[in-house]
Amino acid sequence: MSILLTGGAGFIGSHTAVEMINAGYDVIIADNLSNSSEKVLDRIETITGIRPKFYKVDVAIKGDVRRIFEENKIDGVIHFAGYKCVPESTKIPLKYYRNNIDTTLTVLEVMEEKNCNAFVFSSSATVYGDKNEVPFNENMPTGGTTNAYGSTKLMIENILKDVAAANNKFSAVLLRYFNPIGAHPSGLIGEAPDGIPNNLMPYITQTAVGIREVLNVFGTDYNTPDGTGVRDYIHVVDLAKGHVAAIKYAMENTGAEAINLGTGNGSSVLEVVRAFEKASGVNVPVEFKERRPGDVEYSYASVEKAAELLNWKAEYDLNDMCKHAWNWQKKNPRGYNE
């Protein structure tokens, strides 16, 4: 069975490619490398012994996506392609609306033409906004996103619900990721942010390796046990395995289902820093700063629906996430750039 991974050269896509290959699927990657490196393909081959077929294309371009479907029999699509930098999305919203919505519409239109009906989408816990109580469950109202990036996720979820309602053969799984961190245990693939990282774990690992001087902790007056924000960090390999289960579910069912991928546990910023220091043996200097605009106090998942529908649950713990993130950072201090 052949599955197309748009954006499959990226952080989550590359880990998913490995787990899909391990599960026996033929993997085809379509990526324009706007936020990734072709070297990922060598690394996937080293880990699995199989090199995924690769198309260097912009998946907003219909002719290019059509060509992939004409040259391969595609049984399902996992759609990772998109931009994800939250602060940039507030400065250049049109770039985010154009790329994230356009890629999705193009892929969906070609799938409809080619009668391909199984779709998995990279959504985000950000769609729960800041009005819901934790743990977030899939029946809660969505909305109240605070940036253009988050709004594209919400809009795409709604597009997929409409498409599924209109086409009774179509199936979409809207995977709401919580906070993916960590790296493949081999240290061959991992997160390689361009420039200054926005997210916590790459900032911690870059500080530990000496690229950054100090970690800024945003907000110490939240109503949480130690005053810092609480998130549901999930190992990227667990997340990747969730996609293997989700595409199987999409191929066997119809309709649109939103499903959380998280661990169900919340950790504060300071707990993550301490866990990282313990796992790595390296001290991470911190400075306490004002809250970051748009941040919520608590975010963690209800994980029952994923267990029930996908028969999936996260297995790695925070120590594994820190250990593997550090192993990746040490082996690849400049990401894929050397």
When asked if residue 11 is in the footprint of ligand NAD (CB under 6 A), the reply is yes
Stretch binding ligand UD1 (CB under 6 A), from 111-119, 131-139, 185-193, 196-204: 196-204
d(CA 125, CA 266): 13
Q: C-beta of 126: minimal distance to ligand UD1 in Å?
A: 4
Of 3, 4, 5, 13, the one binding ligand NAD by CB under 6 A: 13
Q: Which does 60 bind (CB under 5 to 8 A by kind): ligand NAD, ligand UD1, none?
A: ligand NAD
Q: Which does 90 bind (CB under 5 to 8 A by kind): ligand UD1, ligand NAD, none?
A: none
Going by C-alpha positions, the residue among 8, 19, 1, 6 that lies closest to residue 237 is 19
Q: C-beta of 138: minimal distance to ligand NAD in Å?
A: 15
Q: Which does 59 bind (CB under 5 to 8 A by kind): ligand NAD, ligand UD1, none?
A: ligand NAD
When asked if residue 199 is in the footprint of ligand UD1 (CB under 6 A), the reply is yes
Q: Which does 279 bind (CB under 5 to 8 A by kind): ligand NAD, ligand UD1, none?
A: none
When asked if residue 229 is in the footprint of ligand UD1 (CB under 6 A), the reply is yes
Q: Which tokens go with 166? A: 């209109």
Of 104, 117, 122, 267, the one binding ligand NAD by CB under 6 A: 122
Annotation marks residue 233 as catalytic: no
Q: How many residues are there in the chain?
A: 338
When asked if residue 80 is in the footprint of ligand NAD (CB under 6 A), the reply is yes
Of 99, 117, 329, 332, the one binding ligand NAD by CB under 6 A: 99
Residue type, 316: Y
Q: Which residues of 11-37 are buried (b: 16+ CB within 10 A; e: fewer)?
A: bbbbbbbbbbbebebbbbbbbbeebbb
What value, to the nearest 5°, has the Cα angle with vertex 299 and ends 173 and 100?
A: 45
Of 32, 106, 124, 151, the one binding ligand UD1 by CB under 6 A: 124
d(CA 125, CA 192): 22
Q: Which does 175 bind (CB under 5 to 8 A by kind): ligand UD1, ligand NAD, none?
A: none
Of 22, 23, 48, 58, the one binding ligand NAD by CB under 6 A: 58
- Cβ(102)–Cβ(60) below 8 Å: yes
- Cβ(136)–Cβ(300) below 8 Å: yes
Q: Which does 200 bind (CB under 5 to 8 A by kind): ligand UD1, ligand NAD, none?
A: ligand UD1
- Cβ(35)–Cβ(9) below 8 Å: no
Of 55, 149, 177, 300, which one is the catalytic site residue?
149
- Binding-residue pattern over the window 72 to 101 for ligand UD1, x denoting contact by CB under 6 A: ------------x-x---------------
Residues that bind ligand UD1 (CB under 6 A): 84, 86, 124, 126, 149-150, 179, 198-200, 203, 215-219, 229, 231, 269, 292, 294-295, 299
Residues that bind ligand NAD (CB under 6 A): 6-7, 9-13, 31-36, 58-60, 80-82, 84, 99, 103, 122, 124, 177, 180
Residues with active-site annotation: 149
